[in-house]
Structure 1
Amino acid sequence: MSRVFGVPLPPSIREAMRTQQHPARAVSCPHCGAHEHRPCTTPSKRRLMPQPHPQRVSAWVREMACCPECQVEPGVPCHQDGVPLRNGDTHARRNREALETAA
């Protein structure tokens, strides 16, 4: 008996299905190593996490939005008095701006 594989989804339908996911899934996770558009996992890689890790959200925000607090462009980490924030964190105002842009 042979297996018949279906036709791949068109990009428009695939993108519509992804709109239900957190927008931070657009980047890979620096914490657990999950690939783009895949859910984060526990350290044992056995369980899928319902929400992305905070480090993944910060990485996505860093790529998406300018920071109104420390005046940096997308791709540049946030800083406080010239010192980068701990663990690649981002300011709350930058987080809000990225979420508004994604909506």
Structure 2
Amino acid sequence: MPAELRHQMRAGQHPARSVPCPHCAARAHRPCTVPSNGRVLTQPHPQRVSDWAQQTACCPSCQVEPATPCHDEGRPRTTVHARRYQEAEETAA
């Protein structure tokens, strides 16, 4: 496991913070915020977690490699398959 990821896990940060958030525009390694009022969130936005899983793991459901979006029979998905989340979490553990 990369040292940076180990540090994030020790610090109690979700590994999805290693990628930028498409919802609130938080930079990598920064917490997500509520765009309307700037309140800092303890957990990343769901789309950020999906982006992290896409960049981190292969998808067992649709057989795509990291960085490739998931699909359902050729139709693109807006999020990753649940099994890809599991694969990313196992990789981070």
* TM-score w.r.t. length of structure 2: 0.88
TM-aligned CA deviation for residue 45 of structure 1: 4.6
Distance in 1 of aligned mates of 2:63 and 2:37? 37
Determine which structure has greater relative contact order: mean sequence separation of CA pairs < 8 Å that are 6+ residues apart, divided by chain length: 2
Distance in 2 of aligned mates of 1:79 and 1:101? 21
Q: Do structure 1's residue 97 and structure 2's residue 87 form an aligned pair?
A: yes
Identity %: 60
**Counterpart amino acid of residue 39 in structure 1:** P
Runs of 4 or more, structure 1, over 2 Å off, are none
Q: Secondary structure at the match of 2:51?
A: helix
Distance in 2 of aligned mates of 1:23 and 1:49? 14
Residues 13-48 of structure 1: CA deviation (Å, up to 9, x unaligned): xx63x2210000000001110001110000125200
What RMSD in Å do the two structures reach over aligned CA positions?
A: 1.6
Larger radius of gyration: 1
Distance in 1 of aligned mates of 2:26 and 2:81? 24
* TM-score w.r.t. length of structure 1: 0.80
Unaligned regions of 5+ residues in structure 2, if any?
A: none
**Counterpart amino acid of residue 91 in structure 1:** H
